[in-house]
Amino acid sequence: MKKLALLAFVAIVAPAAANALEVKVVKEVAAAPDAVWSAVGDFCGIANWHPAIAKCDMSSKGADTFRSLTLKGGGVVYEKQLTFDKAGRVYSYTIETSPLPVKDYMAQISVTPKGTGSVLSWTATFAAKDASDADAIKTIAGIFELGAAALVAKTAK
């Protein structure tokens, strides 16, 4: 199932990837994969571990799942879940609308085992919107780094 989710993500991202910007953050986590996934795997659970998110509201349209992330600094990011593989501990999503300086954004977050701990991997491809490529990359990298550090701290308890 994990391979199927990864293949679906690659099939979605590959056509856009040639000209896309990319950010990837990989963090080792001392906690077991299931403990990390219990925080990450809940699509709306990001509000419980990412310090920039004030609240998350889930919704659906037909078979599609969405989340509205209200940012602590103001603004709302509306995202659509593309794939979800509980057994493989991975899901992917797109940003549908947001105040962030990005467009054509697709991301994947996964948790894999490493020894007695885990590895958190968060990757996104996108294009800059109303900003330089460097500013768009800096924004997404900052969001990922802040979230990953908070998740590492939260699961270490």
Protein fold of 2-155: Alpha-D-Glucose-1,6-Bisphosphate; Chain A, domain 4 (3.30.530)
Can you give the pLDDT at residue 6? 42
> Does the model's pTM come out above 0.95?
no
The span from the CA of 120 to the CA of 33, in Å, is: 9
CB atoms within 10 A of CB 117: 16
pLDDT profile of the chain (157 residues), mean per 10: 44 53 96 94 94 97 97 96 97 97 98 96 97 97 97 86
Q: Cα 44 to the chain's mean position, in Å?
A: 11
Q: Cα 43 to the chain's mean position, in Å?
A: 9
Tell me the domain boundaries of the chain.
Answer: 2-155
Can you give the pLDDT at residue 156? 80
- Residues 23 and 94: beta-carbon distance below 8 Å: no
Can you give the pLDDT at residue 19? 60
DSSP string, the chain: -HHHHHHHHHHHHHHHHTT-EEEEEEEEESS-HHHHHHHHSSTTGGGGT-TTEEEEEEEEETTEEEEEEEETTS-EEEEEEEEEETTTTEEEEEEEE-SSSEEEEEEEEEEEEETTEEEEEEEEEEEESSS-HHHHHHHHHHHHHHHHHHHHHHHT-
Residue with tokens 């989340």: 67
Can you give the pLDDT at residue 3? 47
